[in-house]
Structure 1
């Protein structure tokens, strides 16, 4: 393994590490269901992006789960409309 030719100072080390801090995520609310969503990404809860349905979230669920999920989504949409 190679050995550094010269030792780096504490200030140089700290300046390099100044960019390693974690950034705060900027989350917005989905206009349809109200769940937190990353910007420029489809909502994982209801499958909408920019007001359009782009992902069918019910497709992989069983019939019983689909019915339950549809009821949950309807409740979330009502709650989101009331909060506006």
Structure 2
């Protein structure tokens, strides 16, 4: 495999890693219970997904 010819400097490494940021997850409102949930996932509060009950919440 190819190997780098020279070692990266600390400054270059820090510049490269400067874009590794945590992002706030996009939350959407559940149409059934109006709680915030992750998109394209079952609502953990009421168990609905796309206006259908898919998980029984006891």
The answer, yes or no, to whether TM exceeds 0.5 is yes
Higher helix content, 1 or 2 = 1
For the aligned residues, what is the CA RMSD?
A: 1.8
Partner of 1:27: 27
Q: Secondary structure at the match of 1:12?
A: helix
**Alpha-carbon distance, 1:6 to partner:** 4.5
Question: Distance between the aligned counterparts of 1:44 and 1:23, measured in 2?
Answer: 21
> Higher strand proportion, which one?
2
- Alpha-carbon deviation of 1:9? 1.8
In structure 1, list runs of 5 or more residues that go unmatched: 59-84
In the superposition, the TM-score normalised over structure 2's length comes to 0.76
Partner in structure 1 of residue 55 of structure 2: 55
Structure number with higher relative contact order (C-alpha < 8 Å, ≥ 6 residues apart): 1
Stretches of 4+ aligned residues off by more than 6 angstroms? none
Aligned residues: 54
Q: Who wins on radius of gyration, i.e. which is larger?
A: 1
